C-alpha cells in the first residue's frame, strides 16, 4: 500500500511538471527577456557563435552587417582573430523598455581583450520567444 501511495505521488508530480500547474504564474515579458539575455550571455562568453545566433531573428537588421548572416560573419571573424578571448558580458545595469511586442535592452557592456563596447539590443516577441532584431554598439 505504501509503495502504491509513493507511486501515485510520483505520478502526480510528474504530471504537474509535464503539463504545468494551473496556478503557476505566467512569466512577465521582462523576465522572459532577462532569461534570453542570460542564455545569450553564456553563449557569448563561451564563444559559441552558432548558439549565439539562435537568439537572432531571421528578421535581424543592422546598419553595417545588414542581416543575420552578416552578424554571424562579423562574430566569426572576431572569434577567429581572438577578439572574443576572455569575453565578459555585464548585464547588471541592464534596463528593459517594453513597447508592445518589442523592447530595447540597454546597457549591455561587453569587455574583451580587444576593448569594450556597450550594446543596445532591440528584441521582438516572435511566437512567444524574444529574439534579437536589432543591435547598436557604442564604441565599435
Tell whether the model's pLDDT for residue 63 goes beyond 70: yes
Q: What is the residue-averaged pLDDT of the chain? A: 86
- Lowest-confidence region among 13-17, 43-47, 86-90, 126-130: 13-17
Q: Which domains are present in the chain? A: 27-138 (3.10.450.50)
Label residue 139 by pLDDT band (50, 70, 90): low
Q: Collapse the DSSP code of 19 into the 3-class scheme (helix H, G, I; strand E, B; otherwise coil) and give the result.
A: helix
pLDDT at 25: 75
Give the C-alpha separation, 45 to 38, whole Å: 11
Instruction: Find the DSSP H helices in the chain.
Output: 2-19, 29-45, 49-53, 68-80
Cβ neighbors of 30 (< 8 A, separation 6 or more) are 96, 98
Label residue 34 by pLDDT band (50, 70, 90): very high
Amino acid at each position: 500500500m505504501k509503495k502504491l501511495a509513493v507511486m501515485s505521488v510520483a505520478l502526480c508530480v510528474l504530471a504537474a511538471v509535464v503539463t504545468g500547474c494551473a496556478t503557476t504564474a505566467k512569466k512577465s515579458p521582462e523576465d522572459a527577456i532577462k532569461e534570453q539575455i542570460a542564455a545569450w550571455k553564456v553563449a557569448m562568453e563561451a564563444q559559441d557563435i552558432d548558439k549565439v545566433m539562435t537568439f537572432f531573428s531571421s528578421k535581424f537588421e543592422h546598419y553595417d552587417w545588414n542581416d543575420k548572416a552578416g552578424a554571424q560573419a562579423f562574430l566569426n571573424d572576431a572569434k577567429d582573430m581572438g577578439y572574443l578571448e576572455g569575453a565578459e558580458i555585464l548585464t547588471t545595469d541592464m534596463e528593459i523598455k517594453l513597447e508592445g511586442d518589442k523592447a530595447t535592452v540597454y546597457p549591455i557592456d561587453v569587455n574583451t581583450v580587444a576593448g569594450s563596447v556597450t550594446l543596445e539590443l532591440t528584441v521582438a516577441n516572435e511566437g512567444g520567444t524574444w529574439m534579437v532584431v536589432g543591435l547598436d554598439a557604442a564604441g565599435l
